[in-house]
Chain A
Amino acid sequence: MRLPSRLSEGAFDPATELAALTDAAPGAGAIVSFVGLARAEGALGPVEQLFLEHHPRLTQHSLDQIAQAARDRFAVEVISVVHRCGAVAPGKPIVFAGAAARHRRAAFEAADYLMDRLKTEAMFWKREDGPGGSLWIEPTDADRADRQRWE
């Protein structure tokens, strides 16, 4: 069973997404998932919200492309990507990336790959807002180095 990648305008529950991933892969021997959470501290001090701007069409397309690339590259049964847009409060989930496979190596690698690609290529523009001001976030050198690992 295939799970469509989802752009979520409201909050999502990682436990629900993990259950859906597990249910979608009855033959899997391994389920690996990652949840990214909004940080409470940024470069300008305390963060009141993380705002994720998206493109009306290309953001969903970028999620679809990245998920499909993981399906094509790794021996996985199911890939799950759920990504917030809009305002996310500190501590709340931004992204869920998961993989179900017969064996653990493919599941671990697919989840790792998904996150490295989402960090550098998913079409969002992230802004940290807080009492110290607002700051647009771009991928770090570490994010880019992580992405390069898969080339």
Chain B
Amino acid sequence: MAESPASATVTVRLFGRLADQFGRELNLPVTDDCCVGEVRRGVGMPEGKVRACIGDNMVTDAHPVRAGDEVEFFPPVSGG
């Protein structure tokens, strides 16, 4: 049975203050030609100092996103 667009989702994982604000893990519906920027806006995160990561690699907002992808968003890090 072919997947309908309504069942196509990505898993979004958030860290730090973003998780407090939007949740630790979300499922977001996506279309065929989705990109990271649209996922960011779909969560409701403003543009700013938040980096995106897919498969342990940092990606830009233009990076394509497909159903089944896991997209992580990181607020500014602070160690030490």
Contact = CB atoms under 8 A, between A and B. Distances in A.
B80 interface: yes
Interface of B: 15-17, 20, 53, 56, 72, 74-80
21 contacts: A53-B16, A55-B74, A57-B56, A61-B56, A62-B77, A83-B79, A94-B80, A115-B80, A119-B79, A121-B77, A122-B79, A122-B80, A123-B77, A124-B79, A125-B15, A125-B77, A125-B78, A127-B16, A136-B17, A139-B76, A143-B78
Contacts of B76: 138-139
Interface of A: 36, 53, 55, 57-58, 61-62, 83, 94-95, 115, 118-127, 136-139, 143
Nearest to B18: A125
A79 to B, nearest CB: 15
Contacts of B79: 62, 83, 95, 118-124, 126
A126 B74 CA distance: 12
A54 B24 CA distance: 13
Contacts of B75: 125, 136, 138
A123 B80 CA distance: 10
